Structures are given as structure tokens and as C-alpha cells.
């Protein structure tokens, strides 16, 4: 186990009504490749990557680092949710003083439209607010990414700022531990 600030990682698997959030395992590799190779998934996050390149480069256990949860439905991975401190590059771009945790999410297209991302992100935020009481969480998404914008609103993120980056309008929002509307 590793320490992410003061928090021991990984936590015990988090169970929701329909899902399990857990540390990545080797059996998630095919789904992780599927995610990165999907043009639909990549639309607002830098595009799909060639499958043959992914087959060569994705590690045996994909995404194994503190803050990354695999989201599992009926025993199979359907996506990733990540909660990690913003890197220095983003801090200088958006909020020079910030060391906030940032929420990221990515689900296989066949799992869109069932509320799984909302359910998983709400559980991850709940875990985070227990592990880091009072700490805010931030999120950046393209405003054109309508699904992601709706998800951010449902989770309770509120707008701080919009800005242009990578040729698109970006939305920067912030979340404080409050009741979530699912």
C-alpha cells in the first residue's frame, strides 16, 4: 500500500447499489485498451489512440496509481474514476495557488446513459470527503462535452471559470462536500 498525502491507498473496495469501485487489476487490461481506443470516449479528451500501440504500451495492470478506481459492473470493468491532486502545469494555468484534488472519469460507451458515472463519482467523492474532510475537489471539462457537463452539475460542481485551451472552451468547476442530487 502507498500513502497519498495522509491517506492509505488503496482503500477497501467501495460498493454502491450497482457498482464496485476498486484498485485496477490485470483482468482490466482489455477494457482499459477498449477505453483508450474508442473514438467516442476520446472525442473531448484528446482522441482515440491506435489499438496496436495500446496493446504494446498499456501495462499489465492498467492505471495502477493512487487515486485511480476501476468501476466494475457485474464483475467487469466499465470505466475509471480518478481523484488526484492537480499537477503543476494545471495549477499555473487555472489557479496558481491550488493543490486541489481533481476528479476525472471515463466510461465505455456501452455503459453511458444508465447513471453509472453519477453513481461511481458520487461514491468516490464521498470516500474523498471522508478521507480529506473539508477539502474541495475541482474538475475541468470541455463545455462541448454535454454528458460530462450534465454529470458535473448532478454531482454538485459549480462553475468557477471558463477559459480557452487546446482550441476549445474549458469549464473549471469546484465541489464542496454537500448533499448530492443523483
Ligand X SMILES: CC(C)(COP(=O)(O)OP(=O)(O)OC[C@H]1O[C@@H](n2cnc3c(N)ncnc32)[C@H](O)[C@@H]1OP(=O)(O)O)[C@@H](O)C(=O)NCCC(=O)NCCS
The footprint of ligand X (CB under 6 A) covers 41, 44-45, 104-107, 112-118, 141, 145, 147-148, 150-151, 154
Of 23 and 102, CB closest to ligand X: 102
Q: Are strands 68-73 and 19-22 parallel, antiparallel or unpaired?
A: antiparallel
Of 105 and 128, CB closest to ligand X: 105
Of 58 and 148, CB closest to ligand X: 148
CB 119 to ligand X: min, Å: 7
**Phi-psi domain of 177 (left: phi exceeds 0; alpha: psi -120 through 50; beta: other):** beta
CB 91 to ligand X: min, Å: 17
Q: Report the SS3 class of residue 159.
A: strand
Q: Of all residues in this chain, which one has the CB nearest to ligand X in the complex?
A: 115
Closest CA to 172 of 145, 135, 137, 140: 140
Q: Report the SS3 class of residue 139.
A: strand
Amino acid at each position: 500500500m502507498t500513502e497519498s498525502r495522509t491517506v492509505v491507498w488503496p482503500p477497501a473496495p467501495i460498493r454502491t447499489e450497482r457498482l464496485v469501485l476498486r484498485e485496477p487489476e490485470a483482468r482490466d487490461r482489455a477494457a482499459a485498451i477498449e477505453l483508450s481506443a474508442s473514438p467516442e470516449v476520446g472525442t473531448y479528451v484528446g482522441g482515440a489512440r491506435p489499438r496496436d500501440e495500446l496493446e504494446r504500451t498499456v501495462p499489465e495492470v492498467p492505471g495502477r496509481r493512487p487515486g485511480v478506481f476501476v468501476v466494475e459492473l457485474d464483475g467487469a470493468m466499465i470505466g475509471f474514476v480518478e481523484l488526484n491532486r492537480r499537477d503543476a502545469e494545471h495549477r499555473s494555468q487555472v489557479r496558481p495557488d491550488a493543490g486541489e484534488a481533481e476528479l476525472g472519469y471515463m466510461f465505455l460507451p456501452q455503459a453511458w446513459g444508465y447513471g453509472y458515472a453519477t453513481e461511481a463519482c458520487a461514491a468516490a467523492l464521498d470516500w474523498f470527503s471522508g478521507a480529506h474532510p473539508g477539502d474541495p475537489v475541482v474538475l475541468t471539462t470541455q463545455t462541448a462535452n454535454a454528458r460530462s457537463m450534465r454529470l458535473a452539475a448532478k454531482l454538485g460542481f459549480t462553475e468557477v471559470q471558463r477559459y480557452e485551451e487546446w482550441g476549445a472552451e474549458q469549464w473549471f468547476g469546484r465541489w464542496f462536500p454537500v448533499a448530492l442530487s443523483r
